[in-house]
Amino acid sequence: MPSDPILPRTGFILPELLELIGNHLGPSDLFACVQACRLWNQHLIPQLWRTIDDGLYSWPMILQRITLNAASRGGADSIHWLLDVFAKHGRHIRHLTADWALTIATTTTTGTVTRLESLAVRDAGRHRGFDSVTSFLSLFDELQLSPLPGVAPAILAPG
């Protein structure tokens, strides 16, 4: 029986084919795929993280929970979890739309979002709990987390 170039004896799809398929999947489907197995996770995580809009999918719920817990005893753990996630996957982000001061502060603090091609910032200070990015960064100071050396947050006023 001749071997099939698409499905080797292991039964796995070739990584190149998997990545091509991933280009046509939306975030919800990609999220399901990265949970299927290690091979799929390895090759589809970059596509899942390529475009992040913190106003879509589960992001608002996650960020709302972290923001509300920030002042509580467990708030530091939530913030550290978010920092760890961005530290691990930030290098894959190419397009970022930020609706939350928390996203901007996390991106600044981790320093792993180094291949950004586009950035859109909505009214990032409007969410409950923080009046501005600066007030959120003060919480990071209290937790003894420091932004990138030599990088200061800039807050752009409307108009």
Q: Provide DSSP, 99-118.
A: -SHHHHHHHHHH-------E
Q: Which of 137, 141, 130, 129 is nearest to 154 (CA)?
A: 137
Residue 158 counted as domain residue: no
CA 136/CA 71 separation, integer angstroms: 11
Same domain, 22 and 74: no
Q: What does the pLDDT read at residue 2?
A: 53
Residue 153 counted as domain residue: no
Same domain, 37 and 115: no
| 86 and 112 Cβ atoms separated by less than 8 Å | yes
The pair of structure tokens assigned to 134 is: 């600066």
Same domain, 74 and 143: yes
Query: In terms of residue numbers, what domain contains 38?
Result: 10-49
Same domain, 17 and 63: no
Residue 155 counted as domain residue: no
Same domain, 68 and 34: no
Q: What does the pLDDT read at residue 56?
A: 93
Q: What does the pLDDT read at residue 67?
A: 80
Same domain, 113 and 35: no
Same domain, 81 and 23: no
Same domain, 63 and 133: yes
Residue 115 counted as domain residue: yes
Residue 117 counted as domain residue: yes
Q: What does the pLDDT read at residue 20?
A: 92
Which positions of the chain have pLDDT values less than 70? 1-13, 71-75, 124-159
Residues in a beta bridge with 51: 95
What angle is formed at CA 138 by the lines to CA 133 and CA 143, rounded to 5 degrees? 125
The pTM for the full model equals 0.72
Same domain, 70 and 96: yes
Q: What does the pLDDT read at residue 158?
A: 46
Same domain, 58 and 42: no
Same domain, 30 and 70: no
User: What is the number of domains present in the chain?
Assistant: 2
